[in-house]
Amino acid sequence: DQQVKQNSPSLSVQEGRISILNCDYTNSMFDYFLWYKKYPAEGPTFLISISSIKDKNEDGRFTVFLNKSAKHLSLHIVPSQPGDSAVYFCAASRGGSNYKLTFGKGTLLTVNP
Amino acid sequence: EPEVTQTPSHQVTQMGQEVILRCVPISNHLYFYWYRQILGQKVEFLVSFYNNEISEKSEIFDDQFSVERPDGSNFTLKIRSTKLEDSAMYFCASSEASGRIYGYTFGSGTRLTVV
């Protein structure tokens, strides 16, 4: 039951370039989407979220884009830094579910100096 | 910055034994959660807890699992009779009411190994 899919298990980019992490979902009842970053031996850390009534949300170097008709969202990191190297999880929340999050499998981002 | 604290960081137990995983959520948060991540797989929701009762649970959270907030600060997950497939990283999280907008705060996790 993969309601949230991250089809790229890994991504490698050069420092200073843009990182684009993609996520697809199947459940049209999802109305909030979140991105988390996870370093080894740590818990996931919240990065940015977006409501389904918006198509873009920006916070510093991080921008999330939502294409509701395509059920697709992406996280852009510009410029990428070596410290951004981590696993990035896309997660989705459905209204009325008491804030349960459904996660994707994650994408390992490696930013090379 | 406030954080969610989990203990122990690593627990090894024999199959069939009971384990209790402990968490101290952020003090002004109202919602508490347990998630788990089996090695190489996605982070999975187990249970959410609000106002001293379970508000939602997944199909994974069967009768062998229970949660408790015994003293107003700790939040525990008990697995009554552990199985090999319970081996996973267990994450506790907490949030204010708007957790799905501003995100949960996760702890660093407890790695449970059932042998």
Which three-class secondary structure state does DSSP give residue B60? coil
Average pLDDT over residues B17-28: 95
* Mutation target vs B (from A99, A102, A105, A107; most B CBs, 10 A cutoff): A99
pLDDT of residue B91: 97
Instruction: Point out the residue among B4, B99, B108 whose CB comes nearest to the CB of A99.
Output: B99
In the stretch 26-45 of chain A, residues with CB closer than 8 A to chain B read 32, 34, 36, 41-45
Angle, alpha carbons A47-B27-B75 (nearest 5°)? 95
pLDDT of residue B98: 67
User: For B48-82, how does the pLDDT look when each residue is reduced to its tens digit (9 = 90+)?
Assistant: 999 889 999 999 999 999 999 988 789 999 999 99
pLDDT of residue B45: 93
The Cα B13–Cα B110 span in angstroms is: 13
What mean pLDDT value characterizes chain B?
93
Q: Taking a C-beta distance cutoff of 8 angstroms, is the pair B78, B108 a contact?
A: no
In percent, how much of chain B has pLDDT > 70? 98
What mean pLDDT value characterizes chain A?
94
Rounded to 5 degrees, what are φ and ψ at B99?
A: -55, -30
